[in-house]
Structure 1
Amino acid sequence: MPSSLKRTESPIFIVSSGRSGSTILTWCLGQHPNIIPEEESNWLGPFAIDAAVAFHRGSVRGERGQLSANFIQREELLSGLGQAINELIVSHRRKFEDINLRKQAGWYPPAFKVSRSPEEPKSRWVDGTPEYSFYICSLRKLFPQALFVHLVRDVTDVVRSLLNFFPDGRTRLVANEQTAYQYWLRRATHCLEAEQAYGPGVVYRLRYCDLVERSESTMRSLFEFLGEPYAAECLEPLAERINSANVPANFNERDPRTDPAIMERAKQLSNQLQSSPQIQGNSARIAEKLESEFDHRVQYFLNLERNYNEAQKMITKLQKELEAIKTSPMAEGYRPC
């Protein structure tokens, strides 16, 4: 059974390399009357893999497996779970925006308004988790009609921000300049592959510099992609500075130990994403690659579970053998040195 959600009711995911403005863009979209802002969820990508593992458990026994006996397909199970999650999140909108409930839980109030009036429909939500760059295929299993915004920022700016970002106030997110370039490169590469695999009707590339320098026209184009009317209030969060790394103006990120080949690869890809238009159409070959990677992740956890169970059996067997040795006649009177 395919998902009954329409594209204009399905969630929106902002994917990026991190330190690219995903938080502020999430709040910009969240000012729209029809969009609930969910800053970062983190759990949905791994959950899709867990659900696929669970599908295997429920179908591996053939006619004795509940899912297989009912001829339930994996895609059907995952999209059904996604639809239930979507409905749950939308239905809890009032609690999510209740300031008193947040105070009772000991949480800070949100950075911006979740709703401007109770009459706003807020029938869909936007999630700005940067790590979902690695889970775009997984998220499409849960939400087949979901739309993705690939937010691109110049790699040098991201590296400078990463080197000045301390999530817990003590430990820097990346160890050094080379790690920062690798951090950006992995995520940007995954996002580009998703662009190529699913096409511009599913993944929309948005440059951070356009969001900052040409805010209104950029947001108008984005809302056209999302199938929503433009709302001027969505520009308001851009006047604020949130989740900033506060990079000093005289900060020098250069480290002589950085591998120049890694830096060059990252800068070439960054220039490509900044200056080249998004490719129209989609690549079946790359889509198959992403599908294969998803299946590989699922198989990894299936093997992990299987190996763990085998190890537990081996431990039990060895413990029994040890107990048998301890209680055997030959063991009587024996004392280790």
Structure 2
Amino acid sequence: MSTDRPIFVVGCPRSGTTMLQLMLHAHPRIALPPESRFLLPAYFRRHEFGDLSDPAQRRALAEWITGTLHFDDLGLEASEVIAAVATAPPTLGSALGTVFKLYADRFGKPRWGDKRPSYLRNLPVILRLFPDAQIINIMRDGRDCVASLKETPWRPADFNELIDYWARSADASLRAARSYPTDVYHQVRYEDLVADPETHLRAICRFLDEDYDPAMARPSELAPVAVPAYKTWHSLTRSEVTTQRVSSWQERLSEEEAAQCEAVFGDRLTRFGYQLSTPARRGPRIRAARTWLTVRDKLGPARLRAEDVRGRLKSRRRGPALPARLTAAERAD
């Protein structure tokens, strides 16, 4: 029986999430949009939307979604989206999923989902909204991610923040691998995927319970229809399947920067199968930084519960129900 479970692509920024999105979008049954960027804001503002059993509240939510900055990248008519969300099941997940489903309908495909790096550190949120979701996490050498992040116009001023970002993403990946069953969470390394696309795409398709399609190994052919207009052609070519950028940190990071990366997250690199170029440093400052990263990420579930309480206190209205009721499994619960 064909499945209709939603699919979410996650990973640290600059780890190949767009390439993987395009690979999946090339499948004849799967449509994944460019980054929509309204899902997490909608979740964290959910108490503002009130009781979604009221069609007027669902319409107000839909109007908010269609007014977000990147909505036009989906190529959907706002009026069509508003009407569909207004008649969707009365939950936040259903409202958000309806938008992604309409995007998939553009291409005549039954499976839908979304891609955004920040979902990696918010997987409990994704699974609260979409209980039968399947998560694909693409992992890349942290030194390459940091080197690429360093060159982006929106990078933080502090190099340590880039290091911290990958370390936290790596910890989220390790936590997810421990927490979720094999039919919910799948991880692939960027380096393995670009070196042998067919083998690893076949593994992804087995995870998704889909047949492999050779078009998936040629994602750049879909770039004009599956990547938002604000991306330049230079950025589109980054979605081509090539090993040229593997270990490019060796030219893009100084010796001191590379040593700094390895000193902070070298233990994580080795756990994902990457080889260190310098001996691991284990001074008291490094141990303290590692301890802080671990404690902070363990506080994630507690922060979610505290945020729920704060949201209820801020609003006299009842917050919306969360789980989507769009897929066969969700409707059966």
TM-score, with structure 1 as normaliser? 0.61
Number of matched pairs: 241
CA distance in 1, matches of 2:157, 2:315: 33
CA distance in 2, matches of 1:259, 1:175: 19
State the 1:93 CA deviation.
4.0
Match of 2:12 in 1: 17
Q: Equivalent of 1:206, from 188, 191, 209?
A: 188
Amino acid at match of 2:303: E
Q: Give the secondary-structure state (helix, strand or coil) at the position aligned to 1:178.
A: helix
Structure of larger gyration radius: 1
* Counterpart Cα distance in 2 of 1:273 and 1:31: 28
Call closer, same or farther: CA 1:290–1:144 in 2, change over 3 Å.
Answer: farther
- Equivalent of 2:210, from 219, 224, 228? 228
Equivalent residue, structure 2, for 1:242: 236
Gapped runs of 5+ residues in structure 1? 1-5, 59-77, 98-114, 116-120, 167-171, 276-287, 307-337
Q: Displacement, 1:300?
A: 4.0
Cα root mean square deviation, aligned: 3.7
Q: Which residue of 1 aligns with 2:96?
A: 85
Partner of 2:24: 29
Compared with structure 1, are the counterparts of its residues 222 and 175 closer, same or farther at alpha carbon in structure 2 (3 Å cutoff)?
A: same
Q: What pairs up with 1:133-282 in 2 under 5 angstroms?
A: 133-166=120-153, 172-237=154-219, 242=236, 244=238, 251-254=251-254, 260=260, 263-274=262-273
Instruction: Report the CA distance between 1:11 and its aligned residue.
Output: 1.6
Distance 1:237 1:263 in 2: 32
Cα-to-partner distance string for 1:197-226 (whole Å, 9 max, x where unaligned): 223221111100111001000000001001
Residues 36 and 257 of structure 1: is their aligned pair in 2 closer, same or farther, counting only changes over 3 Å? closer
- Aligned counterpart, 1:296: 306
What is the TM-score normalised by the length of structure 2?
Answer: 0.61
Q: Is the 8 A contact 1:49 1:138 kept in 2?
A: no
Query: Does 1:123 pair with 2:110?
Result: yes
1:330 maps to: none
Q: 1:9 corresponds to which letter in structure 2?
A: D
Match for 2:43 among 48, 51, 59? 48
1:309-324 to structure 2, matched below 5 A, reads: none
* 1:179 shift after superposition: 1.9
- Residue 7 of structure 1 contacts residue 145 of structure 1 at CA under 8 Å; is this kept in 2? no
Give the 3-state SS of the residue equivalent to 1:20 in structure 2. Answer: coil
Letter of the 1:50 counterpart: R
Q: Is the CA contact (8 Å cut-off) linking 2:97 and 2:113 kept in structure 1?
A: no
- Considering Cα pairs closer than 8 Å and 6+ residues apart, tell me whether 1 or 2 has the greater RCO: 2
Q: Say whether the 8 Å CA contact 2:30–2:104 is kept in structure 1.
A: no
Aligned structure 1 segments of 4 or more residues deviating by more than 6 angstroms: 245-250
Distance (Å, rounded) in 2 between the aligned partners of 1:273 and 1:250: 18
Q: In the alignment, residue 225 of structure 1 is paired with which amino acid?
A: F
Question: What do the CA deviations read for 1:168-207 (whole angstroms, capped 9, x no partner)?
Answer: xxxx423243221111112221232122222322111110
Output one character per residue of 1:117-163: Cα deviation in whole Å (capped at 9) or x when no partner. Answer: xxxx4111242200112221011111000011111000111111111
Q: Deviations over 1:206-263 (max 9, x none)?
A: 1001110010000000010011111111111168862749988884423858994x74
In 1, Cα distance between equivalents of 2:2 and 2:148: 34
